[in-house]
C-alpha cells in the first residue's frame, strides 16, 4: 500500500513538473518534419505549453505546505504499521543528512575545486591553441614571403650567368697578364744578376789594378820619383804634367782589355751564363711560370 501511494505521488509530481517545463525540454513534444513554413507555424502554435502555476504539485501553494501534510500522513502510516521504521530507515535518514550536510557545507568548495580544474584545463587548452595559431601565423608570413621565390631564383640565375661570362672574359686575359708579369720578373732578375756580376768584376779589377800599380811603383825608382815630383808640384800649386799613377792605372786597364781580347777564352762567360740559366729555370719551376730556358738561353713554353 505504501508503495502504491508512493508511486502515485511520484507520477503526479512528474506530471506537474512536465506541465511547467518548457517545450524544448520535453522530448515527446518535439517533432521534426520537412513541410512548408505555414505547417511548422501551425504545429508550433498547437504545441505551445500551458503555463504552470508553480508551487506544490503545480497548485500554486507554497512548497512549505508539504511539511505539515507529510507529518499528518506519517502519523497514520506509523500508527497502523503501514510503514515500519527500522534500520533501513535510519540508514536512509543518516545518508540524507550526510548528503544535505555535504551539499550545504561543502558544496561550494567542491564546486570551486571542480570549476578551478575546468578553468585550468580551459587555460591550458587556450594556451595550446594560441601557440598553434602563432605557429600558423608565422607559417603564413613565411609562405607570403616566399611568394616571389621563383623570381628571386631567376634573378640569381641571371646574375650567375653574367658572372660566368665576365669570369670567362677575364680568364682569357688573365694568362696574358700573368705571362707579362713572369717576363718582367725574369728580366728584373737578369738585370740584378748582371749588375751584381758587373760590380764584382769592377771590384776584382780595381783590386788587381791597385796591387799591380803598387807593386810596379814599389820596384821602379823612376816611377817613385815621378810620382813624388807630381805630388809636390800639386801641393805648391804649380803646373804639373801627367799624373804617373793615373797613367799607370789607365795603362793597366788597356793591357788587361787587350789581353782578354787576344786570349779569346770565354769559359768564364759560359759558366756565368749556365749558372744564370739554371737559376732562372729554378725560379720558373718553383713559381709555375709558363716558360723555361734551354741550355742556350732560349725560352720555350711549357703550357
pLDDT tens across 105-124, in order? 888 888 888 888 888 899 99
Could you tell me if 83 and 2 are in contact, meaning their C-beta atoms sit under 8 angstroms apart? yes
Give the pLDDT confidence of 57-73 residue by residue, as tens digits. 777 777 777 778 888 88
In the numeric block, the cell 640565375 is attached to: 157
Q: What per-residue confidence (pLDDT) applies to 33?
A: 44
Give the pLDDT confidence of 279-300 residue by residue, as tens digits. 888 888 888 888 888 877 788 8
Neighbouring CB atoms inside 10 A of 248's CB total 19
The mean pLDDT value for 168-186 works out to 84
pLDDT grade for 243, boundaries at 50, 70 and 90: confident
The mean pLDDT value for 216-229 works out to 75
pLDDT grade for 265, boundaries at 50, 70 and 90: low
d(CA 93, CA 86): 11
pLDDT at residue 24 greater than cutoff 50:
no
The mean pLDDT value for 228-251 works out to 73
d(CA 287, CA 8): 120
pLDDT at residue 42 greater than cutoff 60:
no
Report how far Cα 286 is from the mean position of its chain's Cα atoms: 42
pLDDT at residue 222 greater than cutoff 90:
no
Could you tell me if 194 and 280 are in contact, meaning their C-beta atoms sit under 8 angstroms apart? no
Neighbouring CB atoms inside 10 A of 213's CB total 19
Give the pLDDT confidence of 146-156 residue by residue, as tens digits. 777 888 888 89
Mean of pLDDT over the chain: 76
Q: What per-residue confidence (pLDDT) applies to 11?
A: 53
Could you tell me if 187 and 289 are in contact, meaning their C-beta atoms sit under 8 angstroms apart? no
Could you tell me if 291 and 302 are in contact, meaning their C-beta atoms sit under 8 angstroms apart? yes
The mean pLDDT value for 256-260 works out to 79
Share of the chain above pLDDT 70, in %: 79
Q: What per-residue confidence (pLDDT) applies to 130?
A: 93
Amino acid at each position: 500500500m505504501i508503495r502504491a501511494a508512493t508511486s502515485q505521488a511520484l507520477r503526479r509530481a512528474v506530471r506537474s513538473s512536465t506541465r511547467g517545463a518548457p517545450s524544448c525540454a520535453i522530448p515527446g513534444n518535439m517533432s521534426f518534419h520537412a513541410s512548408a513554413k505555414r505547417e511548422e507555424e501551425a504545429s508550433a502554435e498547437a504545441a505551445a505549453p500551458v503555463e504552470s502555476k508553480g508551487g506544490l504539485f503545480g497548485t500554486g501553494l507554497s512548497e512549505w505546505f508539504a511539511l505539515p501534510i507529510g507529518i499528518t500522513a506519517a502519523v497514520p502510516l506509523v500508527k497502523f504499521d503501514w510503514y515500519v521504521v527500522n534500520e533501513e530507515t535510519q540508514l536512509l535518514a543518516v545518508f540524507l543528512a550526510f548528503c544535505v550536510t555535504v551539499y550545504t557545507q561543502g558544496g561550494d568548495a567542491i564546486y570551486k575545486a571542480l570549476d578551478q580544474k575546468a578553468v585550468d584545463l580551459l587555460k591550458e587548452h587556450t594556451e595550446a591553441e594560441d601557440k598553434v595559431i602563432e605557429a600558423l601565423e608565422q607559417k603564413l608570413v613565411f609562405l607570403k614571403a616566399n611568394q616571389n621565390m621563383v623570381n628571386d631564383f631567376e634573378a640569381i640565375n641571371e646574375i650567375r650567368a653574367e658572372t660566368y661570362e665576365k669570369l670567362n672574359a677575364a680568364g682569357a686575359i688573365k694568362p696574358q697578364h700573368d705571362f707579362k708579369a713572369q717576363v718582367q720578373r725574369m728580366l728584373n732578375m737578369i738585370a740584378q744578376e748582371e749588375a751584381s756580376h758587373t760590380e764584382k768584376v769592377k771590384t776584382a779589377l780595381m783590386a788587381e789594378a791597385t796591387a799591380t800599380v803598387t807593386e810596379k811603383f814599389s820596384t821602379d825608382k823612376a816611377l817613385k820619383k815621378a810620382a813624388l815630383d807630381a805630388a809636390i808640384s800639386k801641393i805648391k800649386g804649380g803646373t804639373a804634367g801627367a799624373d804617373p799613377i793615373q797613367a799607370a792605372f789607365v795603362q793597366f786597364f788597356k793591357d788587361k782589355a787587350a789581353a782578354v781580347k787576344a786570349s779569346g777564352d770565354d769559359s768564364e762567360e759560359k759558366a756565368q751564363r749556365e749558372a744564370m740559366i739554371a737559376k732562372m729555370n729554378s725560379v720558373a719551376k718553383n713559381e709555375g711560370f709558363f716558360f723555361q730556358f734551354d741550355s742556350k738561353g732560349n725560352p720555350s713554353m711549357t703550357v
